């Protein structure tokens, strides 16, 4: 997998990837999974979904949620995303669609936003998943790191996870299954029914297993 960047003097183009033929996964069809595209790395998630054969519309308005089986809330700045969700009337719309059966995956900042409560006093989370989360729990940008995780739901091969100013799960409540932990036992991925949370960024790797896993959750939720 390689990043494409513009040469000096050229108009910048969005980051995208060239996937070698042997890396291209089997297509997933019949799924409607969108990506919340208010702020953050929504483009990277959309690119992975499209590599899987999923249409991956970018969601900026509440009405775009109606046709979705699943929604990814990406990494970024959680306070900014919360403000924009409220500005565009997306908070109540997302919660309503979850009650109707839509699956949601919160990745990094997205995990903060779908939590039931936070250690900090802001932003106000959506209260969807029965977890308590701490923001920037591992430190500042320079404290970002990578780790190989054992994720039984994805198979035997470890998942190489990228943590960038990552949150962590402080508490898990009833109905929540921890999917992955760091070596010290810290939970960094969890599932509650049709809700998925990861403290790291699967969209920044060429391992598409978490995206396939979520697409399957969304298809089941439908």
Active site residue 108: yes
Question: Is 95 designated active site?
Answer: no
Query: Does 203 qualify as catalytic in the annotation?
Result: yes
**Alpha carbons 16 and 5: distance in angstroms, whole number:** 8
- Selecting among 32, 45, 201, 211, the annotated active-site residue is 201
Q: Of 58, 108, 156, 174, which one is the catalytic site residue?
A: 108
Q: Are 194 and 217 in contact (CB under 8 A)?
A: yes
Residue in the structure block whose two tokens are 């250690």: 119
Q: Which residue among 32, 44, 45, 203 is the active-site one?
A: 203
Report the distance separating Cα 113 and Cα 128, nearest Å: 9
Residue with tokens 């690119």: 47
Of 146, 211, 217, the residue nearest 182 (C-alpha): 146
Distance of CA 27 to the CA centre of its chain: 20
Which residue numbers are catalytic? 108, 201, 203
């Amino acid at each position: 997998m390689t990043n494409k960047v513009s040469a000096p003097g050229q108009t910048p183009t969005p980051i995208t990837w060239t996937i070698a033929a042997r890396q291209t996964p089997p297509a997933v069809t019949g799924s409607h999974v969108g990506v919340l595209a208010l702020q953050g790395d929504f483009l990277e998630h959309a690119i992975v979904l499209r590599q899987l054969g999923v249409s991956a519309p970018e969601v900026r308005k509440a009405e775009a949620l109606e046709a979705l089986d699943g929604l990814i809330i990406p990494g970024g700045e959680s306070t900014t995303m919360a403000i924009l969700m409220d500005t565009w009337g997306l908070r109540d719309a997302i919660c309503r669609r979850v009650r109707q059966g839509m699956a949601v995956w919160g990745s990094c900042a997205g995990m903060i936003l779908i939590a039931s409560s936070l250690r900090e006093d802001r932003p106000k989370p959506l209260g969807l998943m029965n977890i308590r989360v701490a923001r920037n729990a591992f430190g500042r940008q320079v404290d970002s790191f990578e780790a190989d995780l054992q994720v039984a739901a994805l198979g035997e091969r470890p998942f190489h996870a990228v943590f960038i100013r990552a949150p962590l799960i402080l508490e898990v409540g009833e109905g929540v299954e921890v999917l992955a932990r760091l070596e010290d036992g810290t939970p960094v991925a969890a599932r509650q029914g049709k809700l998925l949370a990861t403290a790291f960024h699967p969209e920044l790797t060429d391992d598409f297993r978490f995206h396939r896993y979520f697409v399957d959750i969304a298809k089941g939720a439908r």
